Amino acid sequence: MTIPKAALLSLLPFLPGSHAWGTLGHDTVAFIAQNFISSSTATWAKTLLNDSSPAYLANVATWADSYRYTSEGAFSAPFHYIDAADDPPTSCNVDYDRDCGAEGCVVSALANYTVRVKSASVSTAEKQKALKWIIHFVGDIHQPLHDEALDVGGNTINVTFAGTGTNLHHIWDSNMPEKLIGGYSLTDAKNWASNLTAEIKTGGYKSEAAGWLSGIDENKPDGKATSLLWAKDANAYVCSTVVPQGADAVRGKELEGAYYDKAIPVIEMQIAKAGYRLAAWLNVLAMGKVGLKVRKEEYDHGYGHGNGRRGAGTVVQAVRVESRDEERIMMARRARAAYGWNCGPEGHAH
């Protein structure tokens, strides 16, 4: 019996490793945020989500991926990424006007739902959706290939991982995080979040954590400006770590060895950043201030890709702002349209 493609797509959100960062990554981001948000923000979120359980944010962290595969939520598929039409590994950059199409992108989505979750004219049900989208999209925007148009965000760069054929996007979403942690259960995510929380508070990330919050305006939160900074921050790793020698250098290769060893410090740092920034963003939305007790005077940089735990290292790359390259932009848009706004046959959604 042949199963219709539409039926297969409807099942994808429920398959292991089918979400951006994997279910593991999104749940971990949510748990990190829970570890840092204020008690009043936690109460606000629990009330809006109608969930007072110990995993109140993690329980909805992958809702957006499930919703996008419904007829009602199909419009939101492009909101999970921004296709930066840059030129890695020579140049990595994100330009909102160039890269966020008319259909929307993760930057415009975070801007929109930041406004909606606070709007007095929006129903409680729609505010709940807005909060669930924010929780998910903050995770998405920290995965470097969600901020890159090259080969449809790496989806058409076929690779092998642990002897199994897959693609570059998928191993960043799921294979590498799950290899590191050894699973993708809610307990796995909670434990990983506890470890990363400790690194932020007292470990290898302590010297960088305040810098991660640069660009958040407590008095006038700007979802577009702040999330664009986050997208640029993650996109820089496309040049330094994802394809430092170009796509052809990894195409068709087994990436479980040295490539994995270099990628894991970046993956852990990006998950930590996403959770910490999500906590700050939710605090600003709920109580008008970041509310994270990190002494900013200890730090002298903003979006440094510094020497965090596990040897994340310093990113050395050429970054230049290009003029509009219409040919590259159109090629990226055509590739995305041909591939589909979702992630393709393996089902790993953005």
Residue tagged active-site, from 136, 277, 305, 336: 136
Check residue 115 and report its DSSP letter: H
Q: Which residue has the tokens 């975070």?
A: 110
Residue tagged active-site, from 26, 170, 277, 348: 26
Residue tagged active-site, from 98, 116, 142, 146: 146
Is residue 169 annotated as a catalytic residue, yes or no? yes
Is residue 170 annotated as a catalytic residue, yes or no? no
Residue tagged active-site, from 27, 63, 80, 86: 80
Is residue 146 annotated as a catalytic residue, yes or no? yes
Buried b (16+ CB within 10 A) or exposed e, 213-246: bebbeeeebebbebbbbbbbbbbbbbbbbbbbee
Residue tagged active-site, from 19, 98, 142, 169: 169
> Which residues 6+ apart lie within 8 Å of 303 measured at CB?
211, 212, 214, 229, 232, 233
**What CA–CA distance (Å, rounded) separates 300 from 298?**
7
Q: Residue 205 to residues 176, 265, 290: CA-CA distances in angstroms? A: 21, 11, 18
- Residue in 55, 73, 29 with CA at minimum distance from that of residue 349: 73
**What CA–CA distance (Å, rounded) separates 315 from 131?**
33
Is residue 173 annotated as a catalytic residue, yes or no? yes
Q: Residue 210 to residues 35, 206, 207, 216, 230: CA-CA distances in angstroms? A: 16, 8, 8, 11, 14
Is residue 142 annotated as a catalytic residue, yes or no? no
Paired with 159 in beta bridges are 166
**What CA–CA distance (Å, rounded) separates 172 from 350?**
11
Is residue 86 annotated as a catalytic residue, yes or no? no
Is residue 80 annotated as a catalytic residue, yes or no? yes
Residue tagged active-site, from 86, 140, 188, 233: 140
Residue tagged active-site, from 44, 63, 68, 188: 68
Is residue 26 annotated as a catalytic residue, yes or no? yes
**What CA–CA distance (Å, rounded) separates 28 from 51?**
18
- Which pair of tokens denotes residue 136? 């998910």
Residue tagged active-site, from 27, 95, 173, 188: 173
Catalytic residues: 21, 26, 65, 68, 80, 136, 140, 146, 169, 173
